[in-house]
Structure 1
Amino acid sequence: MIYPKIPLAQTVVQLCKAKGVKHVIISPGSRNAPLTIGFTNDKYFKCYSIVDERCAGFFALGMAQQINAPTAIVCTSGSALLNYYPAVAEAYYSNIPLLVLSADRPEHLIGIGDGQTINQKNVYGHHVLLSANLRLDEQSQFETVLEEQKGIQAHNEQCINEAINVALFKQGPVHLNIPFDEPLYERVEALSVAPKAINLTVTPKQVEDHVLESCIKDWNAATKKMILVGANQPNEIEQKWLNEISEDNSVIVLTETTSNIHHPSFFSSIDQLIAPLTEDDQEDFCPDILLSFGGLIVSKKIKQLLRRYKPKQHWHVNPKMAYDTFFSLNKHLELSPNQFFKAFLPQVIHQDASGYKKKWTKIKRWRQKQHECYLKEIPFSDFKVFSKVLRSIPQDYILQSGNSSTIRYTQLFPMNKTLEVFCNRGTSGIDGSTATAIGCAVVRNKPTVLITGDLSFLYDSNALWNDHIPDDFRIIVINNQGGGIFRILPGPKNTKNFDTYFETTHSLTAAQLCEMYGLKYKAVSTEETLLKALDTFYVNNGKPKLLEVFTPKSINDEVLLNYFQYIK
């Protein structure tokens, strides 16, 4: 077997292997050659070559999102690791384990004007859970130097073990900065080091008795309780707890599309429910106790409402962190939702006489009825396209949603409960949705479809620049010739300034990109051609496919804004 000659490179590779880091995304370079040699010559690792580091970061994030284990990204020195930053930030706020392995020059070559050097130490600041700078191997054979090398080896092993443990058990990105001196390409047939893997023992936290008793007392006394659920992995919450919650008429459960939680009695289209409410209804809607769990919330409307009419208490259940999103947080329960519900729900008294859930269920049904009526009246537009596209997705698909207007439209429609839904809502950027979706598709045995906007797709078009896209991968681009979200937001419209600097009007298409990267391409611009294209879109013909849907940008905002008035 072939190994890099440099002991530090051997140590990194062997500890990644020992601790189960299997997927390694490598961006080409010279300074990271020792790591590339090590990873690519060991059949244990699944290695992927992606030139664009920004895309490589999101590709890895999509993988880690699915396997819930650290995925490694490997780059050369200089600006390369700065291009990882958007994906690192997304991983940090979405609790996704990423292992960043950045090669660096020796310290004596930093800050002297040498090429391809920047200050790489701690470059990700507060957006990683751990940042460590490994130490350069001593190459001399003098006895005193050999003794010093033992200390260097021990330091490096400790840092690598700790970084991978933190990424895995605290679920987030970590950064190892790794200096290598030349020569970089030397290879050997035997290892010169035998690093030891250090396992981490984690004891699950338990809720203290007095805290649990206080929660139960307050919950049983309240007549209006709301559970708000952000992003979750599919099947993360045991169904028996969801069934138990559904039987309490004093509790309403608001779920987002990314929550991957389904129950007939839950409220799955939050904006549809609350956007048309009067001030009096908004105040009546707000609960005495708000219990939240899961990731960050998409719905801006529920955030505005709960900030204006604050619940008397807000509890957040999360083993890692709790954001005071509504400026009323008074309990952080550092448990998983399943742990909390197991201790909490058996002691809860259902309030069958409460009219809270009954009232809002009646309103929900009216909204749903009006929703269907509205769809029959509107012209071809973004709104109508989303209704047709979401209904077309086959059973048991993975749906990756782009950000901005894409995820907001998606939240207005009922979701097939067999689908698994994901979106990069940690930082809510448009920059890596395509690369994330492809990374997801590569590691799953389920077909994946990405629904995205035109600006997001064009911005991330380098994501298609790789040889790893599965044949059953699908992309649907809603092309309204610009940033349609800005037409929905308050502010002046239909001016040259708006068209150029906010909406960013364009006449670009995905056709040439598909030809260049080998995707089968289809364009539609009417309801009839859309439905016809969707009939065969998901059939696997041996090539990934992209369907570009052109909508009239001049009416999309009007159709959406009129919707909330119509369903009132």
Structure 2
Amino acid sequence: MIYPKIPLAQTVVQLCKEKKIKHIIISPGSRNAPLTIGFTNDPYFSCYSIVDERCAAFFALGIAQRLQQPTAVVCTSGSALLNYYPAVSEAFYSDIPLVVLSADRPKHLIGIGDGQTINQKNVFENHILYSANLKLDIKDENNIPVHEELPIMKNIEDKLERLLGFQKDIQTHNEIEINEAINTAIAGKGPVHINIPFDEPLYETVNKLLVAPKAKDIEAKSKSIDSYIIQSCLEDWNSAPKKMVLVGVCNPNEVEQKWLNELAEDNSVIVFTETTSNLHHSSFFPNIDQIIAPLTKEEQKQLQPDILITFGGLIVSKKIKAFLRNYQPKQHWHIDKKAANDTFFCLNNHIEATPNQFFETLLPKITHYVKSNYRDVWASVKQKRQEKHKNYLKQIPFSDLKVFETVLQSVPKNSVLQIGNSSAIRYAQLFSLSKTLDVYCNRGTSGIDGSTSTAIGSAVVSKEQTVFVTGDLSFFYDSNALWNKYIPKNFRIVLINNQGGGIFRILPGHKNSTNFDNYFETTHNLTAKHLCKMYGIEYMSATTMLQIKNKIQSFYADSESPKLLEIFTPRTINDEVLLEYFNFLK
């Protein structure tokens, strides 16, 4: 087998292998050549070459999101690293284990005007779980090329380290840092950054490993919930007739169904689930905005919960946020092993556990259900809203809302559904999806910047077909995602093109003015047709409901290439249809 000659590169590659980081996304560059040589010559790794670093990082994020396992991205030095930042921040807020491996120049070449050089140390410090800054291997000073000789007065610390340091000490330091970073990504479920300085020559190889780094086991930190916390929760639970459970982003099968079934049996409990929660029960309350939006102030006051329990990732629905901020529960408990957001400004209990651990400890201790009609009242509201919802959709013209109804119903069962941000995920919240679907959306930062790349990364490692539903601005913004030779043949993109940022037409503002059209809605006449031709994706389009219905079946059929269905909707009526929808529900 061929290995990079540089011991530091061997150390990084071997420890990634020991930690079972299998998927490596590499962007081309010279300074990262030792890592590229190491990863691509070892058959253990599945390596992907993606030129655009921003797309590469989101592609890696999609793999890690789907597998819930650490995935690594590798880049050269300089601004290449900064292009990872959007995906790093998404991983940080979405608890996704992303390992960033950045090549760097030696210290003495930083800050002197050398090319492709920035200050890479701790560059992600506000959105990273751990930053490891590795040390340059000691080289025989006689072998340092003339152009790399250390200036007499330049960086004394670096010179002393190279001249007086010991390679063994540096090797030990680097092994400790790499182990700590990768273990943190796994145990902490989040992004880490390993910055790796390499000196030239970069492309030399050897046939034998020069180092044998040792992998350090992750320290077990599992602990049970303190009994006094459970006892306090139990007392409050048994006396509260109005309890609300609100669930944000969850991975499929993250919460055991038996605990969900038990919650559904309690008349004092209602469970609101978002589209991204991947939780289902006939007694639960999906489509939150549909239920909440038409409530009067009197109804909201009546339905104000005594106890609010939240778990999962960030919440999409602005309407539930407004409701719970205006009519705060007496108590808000958030269940999460890492952190708790005070989203509704009334958090008073962070229970450091998984939902399964909490419910397994709490629910069996409940000996009676408090008398309550809380769920029955909400169920009555839900039934009325569903009837209104159906009646409204029967009478509306061709529009985004009508298209989302048809598209979401068409997604084949047992598929992975990736949804773009902005209007796409908000429309999806209005419809009940098949419980056979695994649903994902980048809600950590809620940005539109990498949705397509994430969906493709997820599709690459999914046994099931992946369907990506997105809006036009998000799609065109991330069009380099298609510059990718790994897209599965069964990958499908539904692009809903309303010729701009249609969501801005729903928000307050002076619509239909030059200023609004150019700087908010950003209207355009772009189409994905030529992109699809360039990247070898089968293209289909529709401008009417009849065309959609005629094409949708063949769209999902087997093919020799990925497919994209572009649906053009009327730009200027979508906002009116949606705003009238909420008026109709009243």
TM-score, normalised via structure 2 length: 0.96
Equivalent position amino acid for 2:548 in 1:
L
Deviation readout 1:186-238 (Å, 9 max, x if unpaired): 00000110100001131312111111100000011011000000010101100
* 2:149 alignment partner in structure 1: none
CA distance in structure 1 between the partners assigned to 2:201 and 2:486 by the alignment:
31
Query: Displacement of 1:286 after TM fit?
Result: 1.7
Task: Answer yes or no: is the 8 Å Cα contact 1:34–1:185 preserved in 2.
Answer: yes
- Please say if residues 497 and 568 of structure 2, whose CA atoms lie closer than 8 Å, have aligned partners that are also in contact: yes
CA distance in 2, matches of 1:157, 1:113: 31
Q: Check if 1:57 corresponds to 2:75.
A: no
CA contact (8 A) 1:140 1:146 kept: no
- For residues 150-549 of structure 1, the aligned pairs below 5 Å read 150-351=168-369, 353-549=371-567
Q: Which moved more, 1:535-544 or 1:463-472?
A: 535-544
Instruction: Note if contact 1:317-1:340 (Cα within 8 Å) is conserved in structure 2.
Output: yes
Partner of 2:69: 69
Q: Which residue of 1 aligns with 2:9?
A: 9
Q: How far off its partner does 1:565 sit?
A: 1.2
Aligned partners of 1:45 and 1:516: how far apart in 2? 29
Counterparts of 1:147 and 1:90 in 2: how far apart (Å)?
39
Moved over 3 A (4+): 144-147, 349-353
Quote the Cα distance in structure 2 between the aligned partners of 1:394 and 1:455.
Answer: 25
Whether the 8 Å contact between 1:470 and 1:544 is mirrored in structure 2 is yes
| Identity percentage of aligned residues | 66
> Which amino acid letter does the alignment assign opposite residue 285 of structure 1?
L
* Separation in 2, partners of 1:355, 1:375: 31
SS class of match (1:127) = coil
Structure-1 separation of matches of 2:504 and 2:336: 33
Equivalent-residue separation in structure 2 for 1:194 and 1:402 (angstroms): 44
Q: CA deviation at 1:283?
A: 1.4
SS at match of 1:366: helix
Match of 2:139 in 1: 139
* 2:582 maps to 1:558: no
Write the letter of the residue equivalent to 2:296: T
2:41 is equivalent to residue 23 of structure 1: no
CA distance in 2, matches of 1:296, 1:205: 25
Secondary structure at the counterpart of residue 395 of structure 1: coil
Alignment RMSD: 1.1
Aligned amino acid, residue 510 of structure 1 = A
- Partner Cα distance (2:566, 2:43) in 1: 39
1:349 to partner: Cα distance: 4.4
Mapped to 2, the partners of 1:34 and 1:196 lie a distance apart of: 20
Separation of aligned partners in 1, 2:335 and 2:167? 46
Residue 248 of structure 1 contacts residue 350 of structure 1 at CA under 8 Å; is this kept in 2?
Answer: no
Contact 1:205 1:334 in 2 (8 A): no
Question: How many angstroms does 1:353 deviate by?
Answer: 3.4
State the distance in 2 between where 1:203 and 1:32 align. 35
| Contact persistence 1:255–1:261 (CA under 8 A) | yes
2:28 and 2:309 map into 1 onto residues whose CA distance is 47
Residue 534 of structure 1 and its aligned partner are, at CA, apart by 0.6
SS in 2 for 1:380: coil
Q: Does 1:38 align with 2:38?
A: yes
CA contact (8 A) 1:250 1:350 kept: no
Judge conservation of contact 2:240–2:306 (CA < 8 Å) in 1.
yes
DSSP-derived class of the 1:315 partner: strand
The answer on whether the counterparts of 1:291 and 1:315 sit within 8 Å (CA) in structure 2 is: yes
Letter in 2 for 1:319: K
Give the whole-Å Cα distance in 2 for the aligned partners of 1:544 and 1:298.
29
Deviation for aligned residue 1:39:
0.2
> How many angstroms apart in 2 are the aligned matches of 1:199 and 1:432?
33
CA distance in 1, matches of 2:393, 2:490: 30
Distance 1:215 1:428 in 2: 32
Q: How many equivalent pairs are there?
A: 567
Aligned-partner Cα distance in 1 for 2:165–2:570:
72
Q: 1:141 & 1:56 partners in 2: Cα distance? A: 37
- Alpha-carbon distance in structure 1 between the residues aligned to 2:220 and 2:414: 34
Q: Which runs of 5+ in 1 are unaligned?
A: none
- Asked if the contact 1:247–1:350 (Cα under 8 Å) also holds between the matched residues in 2, the reply is no
Answer yes or no: is the 8 Å Cα contact 1:138–1:146 preserved in 2.
no
User: Per-residue displacement from partner, 1:352-375 (whole Å, max 9, x unpaired)?
Assistant: 631110011011011111111111
- Cα deviation, 1:509-546, whole Å, max 9, x if unaligned, reads 00000000000001100000011111211101111000
Partner-residue secondary structure (3-state), 2:166: helix
Partner residue in 2 for 1:105:
105
3-state DSSP class of the match of 1:553?
Answer: coil
**TM-score (ref. length: structure 1):** 0.99
Letter in 1 for 2:542: V
Note if contact 2:241-2:370 (Cα within 8 Å) is conserved in structure 1.
no
Alignment check: 8 A CA contact 1:7 1:137 kept = yes
The answer on whether the counterparts of 1:54 and 1:86 sit within 8 Å (CA) in structure 2 is yes
Q: Kindly indicate whether the alpha-carbon contact (under 8 Å) linking 1:66 and 1:440 is maintained by their aligned counterparts in 2.
A: yes
